[in-house]
Structure 1
Amino acid sequence: MDFSDLGLSAELLDAINAEGYSTPTPIQAQAIPAVLEGHDLLASAQTGTGKTAGFGLPLLQRLSQGKRASSRQVRALVLAPTRELAAQVGKSIATYGAKLPLRTHIIFGGVGQNPQVEALKRGVDVLIATPGRLLDLQQQGHVDLSRLEVLVLDEADRMLDMGFIHDIKRLLRLMPAKRQNLLFSATFSNEIQALAKQLLHDPKMIEVAQRNATADKVEQTVYQVDREKKRDLLAHLIETQKWYQVLVFSRTKHGANRLAEQLSKRSIPAMAIHGNKSQGARTRALGAFKSGELQVLVATDIAARGIDIHQLPYVVNFDLPNVAEDYVHRIGRTGRAGSQGEAISLVCIDEAQLLKNIERLIKSSLERRIEPGFEPDPNAVAQPIENGRRSGPPRNANRAAKPGRTRKPRTRNRSSSERS
């Protein structure tokens, strides 16, 4: 099948050709005709398989056939969980629609709102936004969603994980009942299906890979190591195996900062990216990493869905995630669109249960390795991992958490300053 077989306009086909696309991915081949026909859609696919083009191309075509947005009106809204993902999606949609007379804009927190307000005043055909900043601007009277034609929830499972469900429900009350709804997700959890029942009307369902599957071309390896030796082992592997463009995931913001500093002291260029960093710092770090100027980017899970680098070769789990599904999202940053990739996890005794949870989820046993000189202590005692941080001995032994026990992420109300 070729993109020309999907009913796309000449302007969109020219944009696709200019980007070097030739054959649609499975999610694109199924989603594009369904969206063009006006169906609601529930679509799940492995991360990195082209979901943005799957909804972006037909969305642009449908909007180009109608009237342009008037003042403060938004015709189509794409909600994304993180600033990085919103920026990535916005850039792709602007590229696809470069030859169409449509206005596209991106809004998220962490930057001044005046340029965003000015763009909204003129009206926006496609708005890509994070929920928090969008609600802030709507409450100030700058956004009109009453005539919305299409709503897209991108990486909907991540939005639920991050506690955005209440923001989403508030936004839904501002939209017309009659609209097209597209729900895209990297995983197809029970919570996503429950949301779909509330949001979608007689949807087409697309699932091009089994639930929580990892990309076939990602080589996954576990290095067993003591917790105190992880940093030295990571530096050793980067230096001896000559890794470049290494995306490293840390469980905490403090841990990400400390790891980036320690790698830099060993002449390994590294920077950290997480929610406490300013948007300017996040943008600069990501730009340097994408260009190849920065060898290592250390990130918390805030960046797991927002980093899209063609042929990113290495992803390292310095800490295993507390939620097993996040492992799938993390390693999905490599092996994108059929390219090769390596996912390496540094696992200490504290994380034994977390590793079991991951293997149970992906229905696969990961290869274990021990690097000479970094052999783990067979007498090491596991310490509990609580709320994303390894703690000392519990105050009440009767209530102590078992080693590696995981907790479901809590949903909490965030102030405007904390929102994306």
Structure 2
Amino acid sequence: MKITFIVPAIGKKPGKKYIGTWKMEPLTIAMLKALTPPDVETELFDDRIELINYETSTDLVCITVETYTAKRSYKIAQKFRERGIPVVMGGYHVTLCPEEAAEHCDSVMIGNAETVWKTMLEDFGRGKIKPVYQGNTAEYDIQPDKSIFTGKKYLPVSLVETGRGCIHSCDFCSICRFYESHYHARSHELIIDDLKRSKHDIAFLVDDNLVADHNNAIRLFEEITPLKKKWAGQGTLSMARNEKLLKAMKKSGCEVILIGFESLNPENLRQMNKSFNLAMGERDELVKRVHDAGLGIYATFVFGYDNDDERTVEEALEFAKKHKFYTAAFNHLLPFPNTPLYKRLREDNRLIYDKWWLADGYNYGELAFNPKKISAEKLSKLCRDARKEFSSARTVMSRGFASLGRTSPLLWGLFWAMNLRLGEEVDQKMNVPIGENLDELPK
């Protein structure tokens, strides 16, 4: 038996290379490779960095689908199915929209694959593959097999999973919908072994809220410390209240932590069901505690809630510049399917596209709904302008010198490379066509 794994691209402008910072290792594929028996031949086509060979000799195609890549995934699947090759689809989007995905493949995998992958392969081997496989969302006690990445040119950062899910219920988030607001910590033994296997000196700890359980996180950081790795991850500003946690993070090698501020407006935070941000005290003091601990902050903001206008975007930009964040993202709100946000906007008749991820003419960087206090086009431009300003040479220089006082000298080069690349990519990312057929375009 031979399985062909495919990672679809979001889209690409004609004649342009794919966005550099979007070329991370597809960790999901490495997990599936590890679950696959050794006597099964495997291959990987990553649509982001290479052409897909639609004439490859294979028995089964497996496509991992995100909402941004759904349209492209369905087009890829169609080409293989026209040859009579069955297609299995899984991923967050398939779990959120299983009926939609089922129209474009032979079998859908809902939830995590670890508990059902082997069963699916056995069924396929008998010629009796089922249309639906329901996986458990919590079990993932295996190590990824990254040998399938051999020869692929990804960013020089190792992805190491530490947990899945999140305890919060933000109304825009598809992750909390997928895991029903539960957090599932991974075994420390597996994490440490995974880090030891990593071929890069820098790791990104894949976890939507690495500090969801402070005690678990501290124990993990204490175990990571002897490895002398440098790493980044995702957390929440609430961690700044725990001095022991911050010290353990820094000592273990943490250089940058991504924090979702989302909004500085209290009413917006309440609307997005992130009012726990309001209970954390004064933001400036908490940010100072994180910086004083020697940790850089990758700050993220999202705009499009009912109290957003031109001023709220400007305030977020000024807040980010004042604190000289390591880097920052100024994003417009995106209604992911089957989230409370999506349902509310549809009920209010504010969606520009009912299914933006499948709509002809929808491009990356555009809003898929009408905000209340500002036009969709204006908000898209404001987000773009905030990114450009924060990535300007003057601002990067100011933030760079502040970063030098917090991060390891080994990471100084990374700061300049990362921020200069993000600045270059601001306009590259605007109006990327979602799901367009890219097969003949140069990579």
Please report the TM-score for the alignment, with normalisation by the length of structure 2.
Answer: 0.29
